[in-house]
């Protein structure tokens, strides 16, 4: 029996990425509190939220394979969330100037009916250039990345803010690690090209 595939996410970036696998899927926005628990490390936060998103949607659709994903940027041991505003994005980019930032991108896949549950974590190390305040301002006005962890879109103009990206899954930085996602789907019996 072929199970429906659902992406449990409100992210247009994840929707676009999953579409690259050329599988039919629907999207359901999970109702999950994304607050960090006291003392929770950024990588653990990403993993917990990815699984919580998948499980929340799976409760509504127990026969489906549900993908949940979350990304948390980490600077000097501290989690950086989505800035949500121009001022917070400016502060994030100023803090990340000439720094190495780790982006933890977790993906989880579960199906309540079959009992399948698996997850993976991709980590991307990004080295930011020394950024001047005027170029930060120009970038923010041009791209308005207020819904992106770390305030920069590597798939767009944000690439100009970077020195280098180190990753074993290049799509992880955009928000869904497709290499890991494909592995989890194959593990659940989904046929991929």
Annotated catalytic residues are 70
Distance CA 190, CA 114 (A): 13
Q: Residue 107 phi/psi, 5° resolution?
A: -135, 140
- DSSP, collapsed to helix, strand or coil, labels residue 95 as helix
- DSSP, collapsed to helix, strand or coil, labels residue 114 as coil
Q: Bin 45: left if φ > 0, else alpha if -120 < ψ < 50, else beta.
A: alpha
Residue for token digits 């969330």? 81
Nearest to 151, CA basis, from 103, 90, 98: 90
Q: How many C-beta neighbours within 10 Å does residue 62 have?
A: 12
- Listed in sequence order, the residues at least 6 apart from 50 whose beta carbon sits closer than 8 Å to its beta carbon are 68, 69, 70, 106, 107, 108, 119
């Amino acid at each position: 029996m072929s199970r429906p595939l659902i992406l449990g996410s409100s992210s247009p970036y994840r929707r676009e990425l999953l579409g690259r696998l050329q599988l039919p899927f629907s999207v359901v926005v999970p109702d999950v509190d994304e607050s960090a628990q006291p003392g929770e490390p950024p990588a653990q936060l990403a993993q917990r939220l990815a699984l919580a998103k998948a499980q929340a949607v799976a409760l509504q659709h127990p026969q489906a394979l549900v993908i949940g994903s979350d990304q948390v940027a980490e600077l000097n041991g501290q989690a950086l969330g989505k800035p949500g505003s121009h001022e917070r994005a400016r502060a994030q980019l100023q803090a990340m100037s000439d720094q190495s930032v780790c982006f933890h991108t977790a993906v989880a896949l579960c199906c309540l009916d079959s009992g399948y549950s698996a997850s993976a974590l991709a980590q991307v190390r990004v080295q930011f250039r020394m950024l001047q305040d005027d170029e930060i301002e120009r970038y923010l006005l041009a791209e308005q990345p207020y819904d992106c962890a770390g305030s920069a879109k590597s798939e767009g103009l944000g690439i100009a803010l970077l020195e280098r990206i180190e990753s074993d899954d290049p799509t992880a930085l955009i928000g869904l690690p497709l290499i890991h996602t494909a592995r989890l789907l194959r593990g659940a019996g989904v046929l991929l090209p």
